[in-house]
Structure formats: C-alpha cells, structure tokens
C-alpha cells in the first residue's frame, strides 16, 4: 500500500508538469487539457481525442460524450454505455473490473475497465460514467500501450470531478502486459461521432 501511495504521488507530480504546458479546454461538462501531438475530432454526440505512434502502431483514444438527460441510475447508465461505447467498438471477453463508486458534487461516478481485442490488437478499455442532476456523461479510454498513460491521466486531470481523475491515474499505473498494434478508432467514431 505504501508503494502505491508513493507511485501515486510521483505520478501526480509528473501530471502537474504535463498539464502546465497544455491549454485547458472544455466540452460540455468536462474540462480537459489536450496533450501535445494529440488530434481532436468533434461531433454532435461527443469529442474524440487520439494519438498514434506511426512507427510502432501503439495508440490511445479518449471519447468524451455530451451529457444527456437521464433518469436512469448510475449503474444503468454505466451498463448502457459499456454495451454501446465499449462492446460496440471492440471485443470484450469479460465483465469490467469495477472500481468503488464515488459521489462528487452531486454526481455518482462509476468506473470500470477490461481487456479487449480488435483483430490482432489487444488493449485496455476504461469507461468512466458520471450521473447526477438528471444527466449522464461518459468518458471512454482505450489504449494498447503504457506509452501514453501520463498523457491520458493528465488529459483528464482537469475533469471537473477530481476524484474521478485519481481513479484514472491508479488504473493506468496498474496497466500490465504488452499490448498489440493497430487500433479501433474507426469503430469508436461510428459509435459516438
């Protein structure tokens, strides 16, 4: 546990240095800092942020959905978005590993992740869903590498709900294994944009 705290504190310092160079942006109820070299594509239903290392084929994708009116529970919103945004884009062979739900500023926040495959590509998909004030918003993170974990964490460090960001940091610190190449960016665009 002590090691985890030290890793977390170190990552926070690294993330603060990363975000100090990125300009803060907002999409609906989510604030973020687009890391240098990342591409941004906006549609009616959401925004997609992505980066790819063309030499190695590793990538990271973040999709932020526009908040929608919702009278569903936080669990229902998470489950619906897991089916639509994650399972609709890639093959997930297990149920998501869930983090402990939190409540921040009137929002119920649920986070879960699972390994995925997309052809020969293997990676990790994470879904963060916030439900509150009769609205729901989700953020999907997909990556096939650890290379962009600091960018992913820094990008969401500016999310309006800081505890949610801490969950993202811990999740990406715990990523293990080597992931494949290529990416499901096209499938995510079809699901959200």
Distance, CA of 91 to CA of 107 (rounded, Å): 29
Count CB atoms within 10 A of the CB of residue 68: 15
Whether 23 shows a pLDDT value over 90: the answer reads: no
| pLDDT, averaged across the chain | 74
- What CATH fold (topology level) applies to the domain 2-192? Protein Transport Mog1p; Chain A (3.40.1000)
pLDDT tens by residue, 53-98: 999 999 999 999 999 999 999 999 999 999 999 999 999 989 999 9
The token pair at 141 is: 């993170």
pLDDT, residue 22, reads: 55
Which pLDDT does position 149 carry in this prediction? Answer: 81
The DSSP H or E segment spanning 72 is: none
Instruction: Return the domain boundaries, the chain.
Output: 2-192
Does residue 182 carry a pLDDT above 50?
A: no
């Amino acid at each position: 546990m002590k090691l985890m705290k030290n890793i977390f504190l170190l990552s926070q310092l690294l993330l603060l240095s990363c975000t100090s160079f990125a300009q803060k942006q907002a999409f609906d109820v989510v604030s973020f800092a687009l890391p240098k070299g990342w591409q941004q594509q906006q549609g009616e239903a959401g925004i997609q942020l992505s980066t790819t290392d063309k030499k190695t084929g590793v990538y990271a994708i973040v999709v932020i959905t526009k908040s929608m009116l919702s009278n569903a529970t936080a669990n229902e919103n998470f489950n619906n978005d897991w089916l639509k945004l994650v399972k609709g884009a890639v093959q997930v062979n297990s149920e998501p590993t869930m983090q402990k739900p939190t409540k921040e500023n009137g929002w119920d926040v649920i986070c879960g992740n699972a390994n995925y495959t997309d052809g020969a590509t293997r990676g990790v998909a994470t879904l963060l869903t916030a439900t509150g004030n009769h609205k729901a918003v989700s953020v999907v993170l997909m990556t096939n590498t650890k290379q962009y974990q600091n960018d992913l964490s820094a990008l969401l460090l500016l999310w309006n709900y800081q505890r949610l960001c801490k969950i993202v940091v811990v999740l990406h610190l715990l990523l293990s294994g080597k992931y494949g190449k290529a990416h499901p960016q096209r499938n995510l665009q079809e699901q959200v944009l």
